[in-house]
Amino acid sequence: MTNPQDIEVKLTVKATAELQNEIEQELKAADPDKAKAINILSEKEDSEDTEGDDRAGSDGNDNQSS
């Protein structure tokens, strides 16, 4: 009978190996030139969702009594 822990270990090892391969491939890829890198970064900043992050900060006085 197969031990469930053995299966979990095998899946973890397989997932780790796949991630390792993906990272190695990304590291082998050439970096984009400076203009393209700036363009990529500016697109990322434009697409970041900051909506709904309008919570008021704490004034340090967390007493709720009036």
33 lies in some domain? yes
Tally the domains of the chain: 1
26 lies in some domain? yes
Residues 41, 36: Cα–Cα separation, whole Å:
9
Average pLDDT, the chain: 78
18 against 45, higher pLDDT: 18
55 lies in some domain? no
- The answer to whether residue 34 scores a pLDDT higher than 90 is yes
The amino acid sitting at 39 is N
Residues 39, 45: Cα–Cα separation, whole Å:
10
20 lies in some domain? yes
4 lies in some domain? no
Helix (H, G, I), strand (E, B) or coil at 25: helix
- Mind listing the pLDDT tens digit for each residue in 49-58? 555 555 555 5
Q: Which element (helix H / strand E) includes 35? A: helix 34-47
29 lies in some domain? yes
For residue 24, the enclosing domain spans 12-39
Share of the chain above pLDDT 90, in %: 29
The amino acid sitting at 22 is E
